[in-house]
């Protein structure tokens, strides 16, 4: 009489082909272990069975000698040498190197102490307003922001200091619970205290059991010369407090530039619109122009045209890295008076008469082309 094995095919269990590599077998096992792990499926005996079944298949197919015997003789070839897992802890011991992988360690609770994991606090942002003068030289500014800090009343526990944290009734302070299912013994994280082993019976009256309180703080931030609006400054560890001993987050300071009445920023250069009268542009002049550090005399060349740019080198903002300063660009704007006095009108009319008799090169060229255009048009009409 032949006894047929009731065990499923190991390749079928892992969902791989018989030519699968060891890497493919390991990846398939990891997917199944995550899917059917008892912590993810509390109270599900079918998930426990599949978890054990997948572990048994992996133990055989990941061993070259056992896999060779299985491929040749099936389950019968493993009699006396097949893996025997009596509970989940046996599986963890057999595959400790797999479960200590970074993907599994957090989920299976291996490679770290029991209880909630330390969690880093969240980052926060705040804004600082700067003038161009402050960007030029650099400065120190005070910033104010709100952040969650560890409650000083309960020292961050969240429990009323008069009672403190109490042992969890569900797990009796162990942080883990053991469930026996026949010959299987499954240990999982306590669902009541989430592995902490302690619970809050009476919340702290100051933080209401959260362990942190929202407070406004003031900090001084050093502003380097040449900073721009696309740069954030980091105040390390000044964000929200972490949980369960985790480090605090950071505070990121966003720079905002206050609009300047005279200058506009373009990278490290500054642009200033310089209004000139017609006589100043035509005859030339010497003017005092503004800079971020006071005034400076500038000579306006005779015949300066509207839109022309006069460059004052080194009068801009410093580069954040090299410290080299940009330029101040004076953009000439011709100022035409909206109203004139009687004397101004008389002089302007005399000037206009002179210019009609002696037009400038641009006007002369324009009227010559205009005359040629109409002359050609009349000739074509007669033809």
CATH number belonging to domain 10-108: 1.10.287.110
Phi and psi of 166, rounded to 5°? -115, 150
Phi and psi of 242, rounded to 5°? -80, 170
Token duo for residue 115? 């209880």
Instruction: Classify the C-alpha dihedral 260-264-269-273 as positive or negative.
Output: negative
Supply the pLDDT for residue 2. Answer: 37
Supply the pLDDT for residue 172. Answer: 85
Closest CA to 290 of 328, 252, 339, 256: 328
Beta bridge partners of 159: 203
Beta bridge partners of 272: 330
Q: Give CA–CA dist 244/104, Å, rounded.
A: 21
Compute the mean pLDDT over every residue in the chain, rounded to the nearest whole number: 83
Indicate the SS3 state at residue 29: helix
Token duo for residue 51? 């978890």
Supply the pLDDT for residue 141. Answer: 96
20-35 pLDDT, tens per residue? 998 899 899 888 888 8
Supply the pLDDT for residue 111. Answer: 42
Supply the pLDDT for residue 112. Answer: 44
Beta bridge partners of 255: 128
Q: Which CATH class is domain 264-334?
A: mainly beta
Asked whether this chain's domains 10-108 and 124-165+200-257 adopt the same fold, the reply is no
Greatest alpha-carbon pair distance for the chain in Å reads 133
Phi and psi of 325, rounded to 5°? -85, 145
Q: Give CA–CA dist 298/301, Å, rounded.
A: 10
Averaged pLDDT in 10-residue chunks for the chain of 383 residues: 63 92 90 81 81 88 88 76 56 53 49 62 94 96 94 89 89 80 68 84 90 93 93 93 86 95 96 93 93 95 94 96 95 88 82 72 68 68 60
Render the burial of 267-304: b for 16+ CB within 10 Å, e for the rest: ebbbbbebebeeebbeeebeeebbbbeeeeeeebeeeb
Supply the pLDDT for residue 171. Answer: 87
Phi and psi of 11, rounded to 5°? -65, -40
Q: Where are the beta strands (DSSP E) in 190-293?
A: 198-199, 212-223, 232-235, 251-257, 264-266, 269-276, 285-291
How would you classify the pairing of strands 184-189 and 176-181?
Answer: antiparallel
CA atoms within 13 A on the CB side of 338: 0
Closest CA to 315 of 324, 304, 328, 303: 328
Supply the pLDDT for residue 369. Answer: 72
Q: Give CA–CA dist 183/89, Å, rounded.
A: 12
Sheet holding 269-276, edge to edge: 264-266, 269-276, 328-334, 309-312
Supply the pLDDT for residue 3. Answer: 42
Fold of 124-165+200-257: HSP40/DNAj peptide-binding domain (2.60.260)
Residue boundaries of the structural domains of the chain = 10-108, 124-165+200-257, 264-334, 352-382
How would you classify the pairing of strands 212-223 and 232-235?
Answer: unpaired
Residue with tokens 């469930």: 179
241-293 pLDDT, tens per residue? 988 778 899 999 999 999 999 999 999 999 999 999 988 999 999 999 999 99
Q: Within 212-274, where are the H helices?
A: none
């Amino acid at each position: 009489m032949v006894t047929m094995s009731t065990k499923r095919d190991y390749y079928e269990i892992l969902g791989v082909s018989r030519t699968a590599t060891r890497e493919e077998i390991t990846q398939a096992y990891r997917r199944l272990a995550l899917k059917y792990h008892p912590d993810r499926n509390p109270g599900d005996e079918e998930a426990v069975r599949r978890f054990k079944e997948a572990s048994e298949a992996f133990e055989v197919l990941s061993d070259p000698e056992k896999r060779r015997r299985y491929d040749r003789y099936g389950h019968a070839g493993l009699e006396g040498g097949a893996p025997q897992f009596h509970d989940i802890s046996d599986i963890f011991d057999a595959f400790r190197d797999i479960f200590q992988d970074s993907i599994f360690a957090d989920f299976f609770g291996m490679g770290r102490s029991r209880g909630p994991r330390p969690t880093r606090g969240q980052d926060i942002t705040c804004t600082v307003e700067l003038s161009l003068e402050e960007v030029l030289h650099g400065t120190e500014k005070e910033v104010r922001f709100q952040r969650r800090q560890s409650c000083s009343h309960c020292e961050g526990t969240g429990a009323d200091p008069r009672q403190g944290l109490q042992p969890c009734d569900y797990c009796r302070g162990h942080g883990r619970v053991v469930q026996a299912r026949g010959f299987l013994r499954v240990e999982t994280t306590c669902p009541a205290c989430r592995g902490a082993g302690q619970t809050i019976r009476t919340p702290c009256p100051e933080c209401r059991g959260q362990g942190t309180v929202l407070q406004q703080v003031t900090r001084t931030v050093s502003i380097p010369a040449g900073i721009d609006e696309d740069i954030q400054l980091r105040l390390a560890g000044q964000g929200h407090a972490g949980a369960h001993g985790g480090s605090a987050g950071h505070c990121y300071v966003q720079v905002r530039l206050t609009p300047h009445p005279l200058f506009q920023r373009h990278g490290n250069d500054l642009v200033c619109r310089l209004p000139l009268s017609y006589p100043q542009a035509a005859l030339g002049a010497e003017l005092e122009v503004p800079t971020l550090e006071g005034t400076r005399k500038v000579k306006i060349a005779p015949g300066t045209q509207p839109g022309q740019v006069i460059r004052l080198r080194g009068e801009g903002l410093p580069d954040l890295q090299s410290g080299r300063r940009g330029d101040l660009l004076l953009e000439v704007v011709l100022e035409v008076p909206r109203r004139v006095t009687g004397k101004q009108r008389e002089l302007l009319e005399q000037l206009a008469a002179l210019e009609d008799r002696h037009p400038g090169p641009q006007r002369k060229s324009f009227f010559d082309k205009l005359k040629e255009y109409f002359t050609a048009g009349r000739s074509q009409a007669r033809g």
